[in-house]
Amino acid sequence: MAPIAVDERPAPPKYHGKFEIHKLKSDQSFQSEPVQGTVYHGDGREEALLKHLQSLPQLQNKPGTQPVLDAIHEFGKGENRYLMSVGDTKGTGIEKLINEKKPKHLPKIHPNSVYPANWTGDANEDKAGYISLEKSEVYAATARGAIELAGLGDVVKIVTGSSTPSLKNLRKTLNLPRPIKFDMIFIDHLKPLYTNDLKVMEEEGLIAPVSRDDNVKVRIELIEMHLALKGTIIVADNVVKPGNPAYLSYVRAKPEQKRAMLARPPLKTQPPVTPNPSDPSEWETAFCDGPLEETLWTPVESDGVTGRGDPDLVYSSEMIGGWDPYTGERDACEVSVCLRKESS
Ligand SMILES: C[S@@+](CC[C@H](N)C(=O)[O-])C[C@H]1O[C@@H](n2cnc3c(N)ncnc32)[C@H](O)[C@@H]1O
């Protein structure tokens, strides 16, 4: 079973309590009607964030990504300004993965990368891009603004709409050539959708196994990972806070376990969600044998698109630990590398 990365660094400062109840103040940068309830997004703070970024003199001449990320993080420390960002502890681990993986889209690594603004669709072309799926028009506009400020407008394509149908139709929407596989995938949206969306990507052939003898050892924080650099790497955020037992079970399952699930009919209603183990020492073994049956249910937010997945794909999967950037709560990303396809 995959080891859990132990992050020995001190927790970051707590700028916000655990998903506290916010009452909005009548602050000009927020919508005027106060909203009550558990509000940590969608109350005008995203629009306010973009305005703020666009007003900062130091971000005016495409300074690159780090100053933009720093400014976003500073903004998120403010009262009622918690942002759902992955944060720098988990982000640093992901950045190291990206640097090892060298996906074609990174302009630093591939300076000629111009996808999707100017791609011919030729599969052999050494050009690629970063595709971001976002349901909300408002958040898509916020992201687009920040991406422009970072100078990445030419390499990032935002597809607006629900992730599951977007993934199902992605080849058509973006005129992607058939054989194309993703180098790397970052999943960070509605937690119950993770598994179904992964299954849709598997089915659409967007996930590829590694070629033989391509395994390399990579050191990330305190753990060494045997990464298959050519196989698709899937990074899923928030697998500790709030946790995602069904997703972890799926990426850690053996092909025969997944095939056995496929032989059963899909569930019409959501089964009770398996709670995360309360003791972190149980994480290593908790998801070896289940709860795979939870993945037989398709969330309504999938908009009627059900993924059967490809049970023959085998992943090596482990966590990289970190922290919520604002609440100081422990969290982790699950990093799964597609190793091979077993013949059934
Ligand atoms: C946690 S935030 C992403 C944060 C981002 N990864 C970062 O680190 O800054 C989750 C995003 O997923 C979007 N989202 C939620 N459900 C979705 C769905 N079904 N399809 C596409 N996007 C969705 C939300 O609108 C929100 O912008």
pLDDT at residue number 22: 37
CA atoms within 13 A on the CB side of 166: 16
- Provide the 10 A C-beta neighbour count for residue 341: 16
Q: Are 290 and 249 in contact (CB under 8 A)?
A: yes
> What's phi and psi for 66, nearest 5 deg?
-60, -45
In the predicted model, is pLDDT for residue 169 greater than 90? yes
* Cα–ligand 1 centroid distance for 231 (angstroms): 25
* Cα–ligand 1 centroid distance for 168 (angstroms): 17
pLDDT at residue number 4: 43
Does the CB atom of residue 312 touch ligand 1 within 6 A? no
Structure tokens at 132: 């971001």
Most confident of 173-177, 205-209, 307-311: 307-311
Does the CB atom of residue 94 touch ligand 1 within 6 A? no
Q: Please, what is the Cα angle at 151 between 154 and 331, to 5 degrees?
A: 100
Q: Taking residues 177-192, what's their average pLDDT? A: 85
Q: Are 177 and 121 in contact (CB under 8 A)?
A: yes
Q: Alpha helices, DSSP H only, in the chain?
A: 45-55, 65-76, 88-101, 137-149, 163-168, 170-174, 193-203, 245-252, 255-262, 283-286
Does the CB atom of residue 133 touch ligand 1 within 6 A? yes
* Cα–ligand 1 centroid distance for 204 (angstroms): 21
pLDDT at residue number 25: 37
pLDDT at residue number 1: 35
Atom of ligand 1 nearest to the CA of 162: 20
pLDDT at residue number 62: 84
Q: Taking residues 207-221, what's their average pLDDT? A: 58
User: In the structure, what pLDDT confidence band is assigned to residue 209 with cuts at 50, 70 and 90?
Assistant: confident
Does the CB atom of residue 135 touch ligand 1 within 6 A? yes
What is the average pLDDT score of the chain?
A: 80
Q: How far apart are CA 245 and CA 250, in angstroms?
A: 9
Does the CB atom of residue 92 touch ligand 1 within 6 A? no
Nearest CA to ligand 1 atom 4: 85
Helices 193-203 and 245-252: crossing angle, nearest 10°? 30
> What's phi and psi for 340, nearest 5 deg?
-160, 170
Does the CB atom of residue 138 touch ligand 1 within 6 A? no
For residue range 258-301, list pLDDT tens digits in order: 999 999 999 999 888 898 887 767 776 778 777 999 999 999 99
Nearest CA to ligand 1 atom 7: 85
Does the CB atom of residue 136 touch ligand 1 within 6 A? yes
pLDDT at residue number 30: 34
Does the CB atom of residue 139 touch ligand 1 within 6 A? yes
Does the CB atom of residue 163 touch ligand 1 within 6 A? yes
In the predicted model, is pLDDT for residue 316 greater than 50? yes
* Cα–ligand 1 centroid distance for 344 (angstroms): 35
Q: For 306-322, give the DSSP string.
A: -----TTEEEEEEEEEE
User: In the structure, what pLDDT confidence band is assigned to residue 221 with cuts at 50, 70 and 90?
Assistant: very low
Residue 37 burial by Cβ neighbours in a 10 Å radius (0-12, 13-18, 19+): exposed
User: In the structure, what pLDDT confidence band is assigned to residue 113 with cuts at 50, 70 and 90?
Assistant: very low
* Cα–ligand 1 centroid distance for 5 (angstroms): 25
Residue of 308 and 31 predicted with greater confidence: 308
Helix (H) / strand (E) element for 15: namely none
Q: What does each C-alpha distance from 313 to 188, 205, 210, 277 come to in angstroms? A: 22, 11, 11, 27
In the predicted model, is pLDDT for residue 303 greater than 60? yes
pLDDT at residue number 260: 95
Does the CB atom of residue 241 touch ligand 1 within 6 A? no
Residue of 195 and 176 predicted with greater confidence: 195
Domain ranges of the chain: 1-7+86-103+183-344, 17-81, 106-179
In the predicted model, is pLDDT for residue 194 greater than 70? yes
For residue range 235-270, list pLDDT tens digits in order: 999 998 888 999 999 999 999 999 999 999 999 998
Ranking 112-116, 160-164, 305-309 by mean pLDDT, the lowest is: 112-116
Q: Taking residues 221-228, what's their average pLDDT? A: 46
Helix (H) / strand (E) element for 169: namely none
Q: How far apart are CA 327 and CA 312, in angstroms?
A: 39
